[in-house]
Amino acid sequence: MHPLFKDISSLPTERINPATVDIDVLPTREIVDLLHAEDARVIPAVGAELDHIAAAVDLIVAGFQGGGRLVYVGAGTSGRLGVVDASECPPTFGTPPEMVQGIIAGGSEAMFRSQEGVEDSREAGAAALDEISVSSADVVCGIAASGRTPFVLGALAHARELECKTIFLSTSTRENIRGRGVAVDVLICPQVGPEPIAGSTRMKSGTAQKLVLNMLTTASMVRIGKTYHNVMVDLQLSNGKLEARARRTVMEVCGVEYSEADRALTDCGGHVKTAIVSLIAGVDCAEARARLRRADGHVRAALRDSHADQTSDKQGNHRKREGGA
């Protein structure tokens, strides 16, 4: 018997799904109906983990506030999802590329072509953290649908040796993971059930992981002031679409015409937050920047800055829109 047979056979993701056993003889519409019905199970499974997701966000925020990074570690689909989530933070939230990083077993080549066997080394997972000089200030989040990937478990064990805070995201059961002796600060385990195609964790497991990763970074960025209301206000103007979005954001948030939004953004060096504070508070860009520094980058707090002079009519009108906030 293969040494991994018993181990793999115990995983929820490897079981046969009774709801889809006849999928291979169904017409196309019934196949996609079945897949859709299985996908619908993902949302409540993630919902059952919200307390754990919130606890993970609090760890990440504390890490950011202490100058640390969020580092995702995964293999295969799980690794790709981590890399994708990390790569989308700089254009969306204006973060430096190193603030959220994704490590995938096999390196960059594994993003585009499966690198079989690279996930089987615990030592390689640990070494991958050393390559980016992970320290106790950082938060390391392992991602593994099975809960058993050696590369990920090795990275998490090494992260704990380095006194990092650790998170583990898996669609295996807590009992299965704890039975392997895995110790982390926060364990997130959405129970999505067997995959529609047995063992294909790019399906429901991948969907659940993507939803959780979205929550981890989005909620963390909201907490550290990267949004104003529900609007991205720290985006980088790195392409034409984002330049247009920046102007539209300033127009909508501040209630001004295109020309005024464009002028404010130009005066403020393309920094959306600064332009918003400048326009709403009726102050120049230098004062807007000073307010944002004192407010740790939070626009609402910058607009209520106790060091500020009397606010303009624009600010008063804006507060009315907020219901007196």
Closest Cα to residue 40, out of 193, 255, 225? 193
Closest Cα to residue 96, out of 247, 278, 221? 221
Catalytic entry in 30, 98, 116, 119: 119
pTM of the model: 0.88
Looking at the predicted structure, is the pLDDT value of residue 1 above 60?
Answer: no
* Burial environment of residue 111 by CB neighbours within 10 A (0 to 12, 13 to 18, 19 or more): middle
Q: Per residue in 224-256, pLDDT tens?
A: 999 999 999 988 788 888 899 999 999 999 999
Catalytic entry in 30, 38, 49, 88: 88
Query: Are 111 and 41 found together in one domain?
Result: yes
Query: Are 145 and 105 found together in one domain?
Result: yes
Q: Per residue in 214-228, pLDDT tens?
A: 999 999 999 999 999
The rounded distance, in Å, linking the Cα atoms of 116 and 106 is 9
Which of these three, 208, 223, 238, is where a domain ends? 223
Query: Are 218 and 247 found together in one domain?
Result: no
Query: Are 211 and 260 found together in one domain?
Result: no
What is the domain range of residue 253? 227-321
The residue assigned the tokens 């169904």 is 26
Query: Are 50 and 80 found together in one domain?
Result: yes
Give the number of other Cβ atoms within 10 Å of residue 58's Cβ. 15
Residue 252 annotated to the active site? no
The rounded distance, in Å, linking the Cα atoms of 129 and 154 is 10
Which of these three, 174, 191, 223, is where a domain ends? 223
pLDDT for res 155: 97
Work out how many domains the chain is built from and give that number. Answer: 2
Average pLDDT, the chain: 91
Residue 88 annotated to the active site? yes
CATH of the domain at 219: 3.40.50.10490
Query: Are 48 and 123 found together in one domain?
Result: yes
Q: Per residue in 23-67, pLDDT tens?
A: 999 999 999 999 999 999 999 999 999 999 999 999 999 999 999
Query: Are 117 and 135 found together in one domain?
Result: yes
The residue assigned the tokens 């993003």 is 111
Q: Per residue in 288-310, pLDDT tens?
A: 999 999 999 999 999 998 665 44
Looking at the predicted structure, is the pLDDT value of residue 192 above 60?
Answer: yes
